[in-house]
């Protein structure tokens, strides 16, 4: 079982915790992580892009000139795609990009990324985040004490308004709950901060 140090909000080591091998100690499967990441990004697409076909643009009810004798190419409508302000041929229409990925694959991808965080020493476990008030300065101080440099994701077991609102104005810092974590966020943010309660909840949910 992988072991990691547990720190307090002042950045001092207070204990150690053993992490479950089947969640934090597996060999990362890069292919599955990639497949789940592509699925997540596809599902975020709105699919609202749209262009007008020749049937939808205005005008063009009359043939622009007679078929023969003008010396110009024959034309049937100014709504045809070759005309300026004409319809678009084979343009995009509203559609859904969503598709499903196997539940086992989603879980394996999440476990793979969590394990990679442990391997790369990018996982920081804190005993608690006892912020008494909503104050950005306090959160910045805590992150500095924990040496959480760069992009940081803070995962909480449940809603904590003091922590969430103290972190929301800090650049490259995001808070999330155990039941909303996803592969995209775990990959996007370099450092991952988990409270002890969050670790226990992750192990309960994904074991």
pLDDT of res. 175:
96
What phi and psi, each to the nearest 5 degrees, are found at residue 119? -60, -40
> How many domains does one find in the chain?
2
Mean pLDDT of 132-137: 93
Please indicate, yes or no, whether residues 63 and 78 belong to a single structural domain of this protein: yes
Please indicate, yes or no, whether residues 28 and 117 belong to a single structural domain of this protein: yes
CB 41 within 8 A of CB 184: yes
pLDDT higher than 80, residue 207 = no
Please indicate, yes or no, whether residues 28 and 107 belong to a single structural domain of this protein: yes
pLDDT of res. 2:
86
pLDDT of res. 183:
96
Please indicate, yes or no, whether residues 74 and 176 belong to a single structural domain of this protein: no
What is the pTM (predicted TM-score) of this model? Answer: 0.84
Burial letters for 47-65: b for 16+ Cβ neighbours within 10 Å, e otherwise? eeeeeeebeebeebeeeee
CB 180 within 8 A of CB 201: no
Please indicate, yes or no, whether residues 145 and 161 belong to a single structural domain of this protein: yes
Mean pLDDT of 11-40: 95
Please indicate, yes or no, whether residues 180 and 134 belong to a single structural domain of this protein: yes
Domain end marker among 34, 67, 96: 96
Please indicate, yes or no, whether residues 88 and 145 belong to a single structural domain of this protein: no
- In tens, the pLDDT along 43-66 reads 999 999 999 999 999 988 899 999
pLDDT of res. 61:
86
Please indicate, yes or no, whether residues 57 and 78 belong to a single structural domain of this protein: yes
Please indicate, yes or no, whether residues 139 and 91 belong to a single structural domain of this protein: no
Residue 113: partners with Cβ closer than 8 Å, 6 or more residues away: 28, 33, 183, 186, 187
- State which H helix or E strand residue 7 sits in: strand 3-7
Mean pLDDT of 10-24: 93
Which residues form the domain of 83?
47-96
Residue entry with tokens 């043939």: 63
- In tens, the pLDDT along 138-196 reads 999 999 999 998 899 999 999 999 999 999 999 999 999 999 999 999 999 999 999 99
What is the maximal distance between C-alpha atoms in the chain? 93
pLDDT of res. 186:
96
- In tens, the pLDDT along 108-118 reads 999 999 999 99
Domain end marker among 59, 77, 96: 96
Percent of residues, the chain, with pLDDT higher than 90:
92
Percent of residues, the chain, with pLDDT higher than 70:
100
CATH for 146? 3.40.1370.10
- Per the document, the length of the chain is 207
């Amino acid at each position: 079982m992988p072991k990691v140090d547990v720190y307090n909000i002042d950045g001092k080591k207070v204990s150690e915790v053993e992490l479950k091998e089947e969640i934090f100690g597996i060999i990362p499967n890069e292919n599955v992580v990639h497949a789940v990441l592509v699925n997540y990004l596809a599902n975020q697409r709105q699919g609202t892009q749209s262009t007008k076909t020749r049937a939808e643009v205005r005008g063009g009810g009359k043939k622009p000139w007679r078929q023969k004798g003008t010396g110009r190419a024959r034309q049937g409508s100014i709504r045809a795609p070759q005309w300026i302000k004409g319809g678009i041929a084979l343009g995009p229409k509203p559609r859904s990009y969503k598709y499903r990925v196997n539940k086992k694959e989603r879980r394996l991808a999440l476990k793979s990324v969590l394990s990679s965080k442990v391997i790369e020493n990018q996982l920081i476990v804190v005993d608690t985040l006892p912020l008494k008030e909503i104050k950005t300065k306090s959160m910045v101080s805590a992150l500095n004490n924990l040496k959480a440099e760069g992009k940081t994701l803070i995962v909480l077991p449940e809603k904590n308004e003091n922590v969430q609102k103290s972190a929301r104005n800090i650049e490259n810092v995001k808070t999330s709950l155990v039941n909303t974590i996803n592969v995209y966020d775990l990959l996007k943010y370099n450092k991952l901060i988990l409270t002890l309660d969050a670790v226990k909840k992750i192990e309960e949910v994904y074991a």
